[in-house]
Amino acid sequence: ATPISTMIGVGRAAERGVLIRHGEALQRAGDLDALVVDKTGTLTEGRPRVTECETPGSSASLSRETLGLLVGIEAGSEHPLATAITQWCQKQGATATEVSDFQAHSGRGVTATTHDGTRLALGNPALMADHGIDISAVRDRVETLESQARTVMLFAVGDELRALLAVHDPLREDAREAIARLKKAGLTPIMLTGDAPATARAIAHEAGIEEVEAGLMPEDKHAHIERLQQAGRVVGMVGDGINDAPALARADVGFAIGAGTSVAIESAGVALMRNSLHGVADAIEISRATMHNIR
C-alpha cells in the first residue's frame, strides 16, 4: 500500500474508534490467522460479582466474624476478585478485621495472619493444597459451579474450611457476535486465562471459542504466542491488563481493550476505544481493503 492509502485506512479505522499507532500494524492486521484473547476484561466485562457464598457442609450463611476476616484479607489486594468479595461482604454489613502479613500469590490467591496468629488463606484449590487444607467435601460443588462459568474461591481460617465463594464475570454483550465475525474472516480465536479450566471452558463455549488454555501464569501467555508464531501462524493478541503487556508486544499485532492500562496501550499497535472485539474485525477488514484495493 502507498503511504497515502495507509493514511486513509488509519483514518477510516479511527472513525470507528480503532486507533492504529503505526502503519505497520495496519498492514499486518489483514494477515492475521490466529487471535489470542485474554478472558477477564477482554471477553468479559472484567467486573466480577459474587453469586454464591456458602458455608461448607452447612446451610448457614457466613458468620459476621468470617465476613470481617474476608474484608480484612482482601483490603490488601487490588484484584477485581477482591473488589467483588469486599463489596458483597460490606453489603451484608461486615466491617474489616485487621490482619497482618498480607501476601498475594500469583495464580493462586491471598494469605494473611490474624492478630492471634491464625493463618488465613483465600484462593483456588491449588492455594488450599499449598496449606494442607482438605477440600474433598466441596469438590463436587466447586466443579458444578465452575461448569456454570463461575470462578470459585475457598477461604480457610487456620485448618478450617470456612467459606466457598463464587463469582461471575459476564461476557461483554457483543463478544459472541464479534467472535463469529472474526471466525468468518478466517481467524482462529484462542482464549488464554489464569482461571480454572472448567470455568474457562464454560465461558469460551458462551463466546463460541473452541481453543482454550487455562491455569496460565502471565509469562505463559507470552510463551504460547511464541509457539504459535514458530508454527507459522500470524498472531494477534487482545488484552487489557498490565500482565498482558509482554504478550501484546510479542504478538504480530497487539490490540488494547478496556479503559486499558497505559502499559497495555503502549505495548499494543492498536487501541480499541469502544471496548469491543468488533474493533479487531474492523481493523482486519480495513487492512485487507487497504492492501489489496488501493484507492
Residue 77 binding result from Mg ion, ligand ADP, none, given CB thresholds of 5 to 8 Å by partner type = ligand ADP
| Position with the least CB separation from ligand ADP | 194
Q: How far is the CB of 76 from ligand ADP (least distance, A)?
A: 8
Q: How far is the CB of 19 from Mg ion (least distance, A)?
A: 23
From 23-31, 32-40, 178-186, 278-286, give the range in contact with Mg ion by CB under 5 A: 32-40
Query: Per the residue annotation, which of 31, 38, 101, 220 is the catalytic one?
Result: 38
| Position with the least CB separation from Mg ion | 40
Residue 79 binding result from Mg ion, ligand ADP, none, given CB thresholds of 5 to 8 Å by partner type = ligand ADP
- Size of the chain in residues: 295
- One-letter amino acid at 127 equals L
Alpha helices in 151-214 (DSSP H): 175-184, 197-207
The smaller minimum CB distance to Mg ion, of residues 72 and 239, is found at: 239
Q: How far is the CB of 168 from Mg ion (least distance, A)?
A: 16
Q: Residue 2 burial (CB < 10 Å; 0-12/13-18/19+)? A: exposed
Residue 38 catalytic? yes
List all residues 6 or more positions away from 124 whose beta carbon is below 8 Å from its beta carbon: 107, 108, 109, 152, 153, 154, 196
Residue 151 binding result from ligand ADP, Mg ion, none, given CB thresholds of 5 to 8 Å by partner type = ligand ADP
Alpha-carbon distance 184 to 130, whole Å? Answer: 44
Q: Which of 19, 20, 25, 40 binds Mg ion (CB under 5 A)?
A: 40
The smaller minimum CB distance to ligand ADP, of residues 9 and 109, is found at: 109
Q: How far is the CB of 216 from ligand ADP (least distance, A)?
A: 7
| SS3 assignment, position 58 | coil
The smaller minimum CB distance to ligand ADP, of residues 133 and 281, is found at: 133
Alpha-carbon distance 153 to 163, whole Å? Answer: 8
- One-letter amino acid at 199 equals T
User: E strands, the chain, where?
Assistant: 18-20, 34-38, 49-54, 100-105, 109-113, 119-123, 151-157, 160-168, 188-192, 211-213, 235-239, 253-256, 270-272
From 8-16, 33-41, 140-148, 258-266, give the range in contact with Mg ion by CB under 5 A: 33-41
Nearest alpha carbon to residue 235 among 243, 244, 226, 245: 226
Report the interface residues with ligand ADP, using CB under 6 A. 40, 74, 77, 79, 81-82, 106-110, 122-124, 151, 153, 193-195
Q: How far is the CB of 74 from ligand ADP (least distance, A)?
A: 6
Signed CA dihedral, 196, 199, 201, 204: sign only:
negative
From 35-43, 115-123, 148-156, 279-287, give the range in contact with Mg ion by CB under 5 A: 35-43
Q: Which positions are annotated as active-site residues?
A: 38
